[in-house]
Amino acid sequence: MKGALSKCGSALALIACLAASPAMAGQFLSGEGLYQLCTGSAAVQRDAPVQQAECMRYIEGVSDADDAEGNSCVSPGVSTGQLRDVVTTYLREKAATDRHLLPAAILVRMALASFCGRGPMQK
């Protein structure tokens, strides 16, 4: 029972954090917004660890959606932290100019495809 209450408390904290995020305010999260969350540099009134947790949950959500659609190439052993590192590196190195223009979900999918060797530059 204690574990269930702990999970419930964590879920409520996550909902409260997401409710205050730009994506929940009727806007799509941009690649730049995701990059700032992942690096803990977003101009919001939350600590860097909270921003990074939001980043990981966002990436995890995109990855889970891909998995539900049968489009995921990420193996079960890959951690959310590893995915965050892959996406952050992709946003910094390969999508630095595009991250201002494209929605975060598209860039996450591009980063994960590149990670799996299925990106647009891979043959």
pLDDT for 55-111, tens place per residue? 999 999 999 998 888 888 888 888 888 999 999 999 998 877 878 888 999 999 999
Return d(Cα 93, Cα 77) in angstroms, integer.
Answer: 25
The answer to whether the CB of 108 falls within 8 A of the CB of 32 is no
Q: Specify the CATH number of the domain 27-115.
A: 1.10.890.40
DSSP, collapsed to helix, strand or coil, labels residue 76 as: coil
Residue 58 is which amino acid? Y
Query: pTM, whole model, 2 decimals?
Result: 0.70
Separation CA 49–CA 67 (nearest Å):
26
Specify the 3-state DSSP secondary structure of 103.
strand
Rounded Cα distance between 47 and 97, Å, is 26
